[in-house]
Amino acid sequence: MDLNQKTVLIADSNQVDMLRLSLLLKRLDYSVLTVLNCSDVIKKIAVFNPDIVLMSIRMSEVDSTACMEHIKRDANLKAIPFVIMGEKSDAKALEESLKKGATAYIFKPINPTLLYRVIQKITEKKPRQNLRARIIFKVTVLCQNQKRVSFASNLSEAGVFIRSIKPIPVGTKVSISMDLPSTKPIEIEGVIIAIVEFNRDSFIEPGMCIRFTNIDNNIQLGLRKFIEEQLTYDLDPNLDI
Residue 237 domain-assigned? no
Tell whether 20 and 103 lie within a shared domain: yes
Question: What tens-digit pLDDT sequence spans the chain (241 residues)?
Answer: 455 789 999 999 999 999 999 999 999 999 999 999 888 998 999 899 999 999 999 887 778 888 898 888 888 888 999 999 999 999 999 999 999 999 999 999 999 999 999 999 999 999 999 999 999 999 999 998 899 999 999 999 999 999 999 999 999 999 999 999 888 999 999 999 999 988 777 778 999 999 999 899 999 999 999 999 999 989 877 666 6
DSSP, res 130:
S
Tell whether 67 and 168 lie within a shared domain: no
Alpha-carbon dihedral sign for residues 98, 103, 109, 111: positive
- In the chain, the number of structural domains is 2
Beta bridge partner(s), residue 228: none
* Neighbour-count burial for 61-88, b at 16+ CB within 10 Å, e otherwise: eeebbebbeebbeeeeeeebbbbbbbee
pTM reported for the whole predicted model: 0.89
Tell whether 159 and 62 lie within a shared domain: no
Q: What type of residue sits at position 143?
A: C
For residues 123 and 51, is the Cβ–Cβ distance under 8 A? yes
Residue 18 domain-assigned? yes
Q: What is the CATH number of the domain that holds 221?
A: 2.40.10.220
> Which of residues 88, 123, 158 is at a domain's end?
123
Q: Which domain holds residue 219?
A: 137-232
* Neighbour-count burial for 39-52, b at 16+ CB within 10 Å, e otherwise: eebbebbeeeebbb
